[in-house]
Amino acid sequence: MNWKEGLRQPGVLAALGAAVLFGAGTPLAKLLLDSVSPWLLAGLLYLGSGVGLMLYRLLNRAPAVSLPCQEVPWLAGAIGAGGVVGPVLLMLGLTGMPASGASLLLNAEGVFTALLVWCSANK
């Protein structure tokens, strides 16, 4: 498959679009931090994400999903760490460093996540 055929795949375009938006988000957030508090900006970014996902779910008429009771604490922990603490710490960190450096550090997120999974899977 060549690159033109690859771009016709819907997953490839979605991944490229997500990468562009993710890469543009840090410099834009850095600009907004001059006039908005890190807490408010983190909340607004995740509110926008939630609204976008809600619209996507409504438009695609996704089936209902049930969550087993034993998974609720894990979901709550993931929401707390990844949806509350993480974004606020990201915005607080952006206040103290250039957006270019923060974007480069964020590129390492995937590598460190893969290493964390690899280390925990080998125990």
Task: Report how far residue 42's alpha carbon sits from residue 11's, in angstroms, rounded to the nearest whole number.
Answer: 27
Whether this prediction's pTM lies above 0.95 is answered by: no
Amino acid 51: pLDDT: 92
Kindly report the three-state secondary structure assignment for every residue of the chain: CCHHHHHCCHHHHHHHHHHHHHHHHHHHHHHHCCCCCHHHHHHHHHHHHHHHHHHHHHHHCCCCCCCCHHHHHHHHHHHHHHHHHHHHHHHHHHCCCCHHHHHHHHHCHHHHHHHHHHHHHCC
Amino acid 11: pLDDT: 80
Amino acid 24: pLDDT: 82
Per-residue pLDDT of the chain (123 residues; tens, 9 = 90+): 676 777 777 788 888 888 888 778 878 888 888 898 888 988 888 888 889 888 988 888 878 888 899 999 999 998 888 888 888 888 888 888 887 787 788 878 888 888 888 888 876
Amino acid 71: pLDDT: 92
Structural domain boundaries of the chain?
Answer: 3-63+72-121
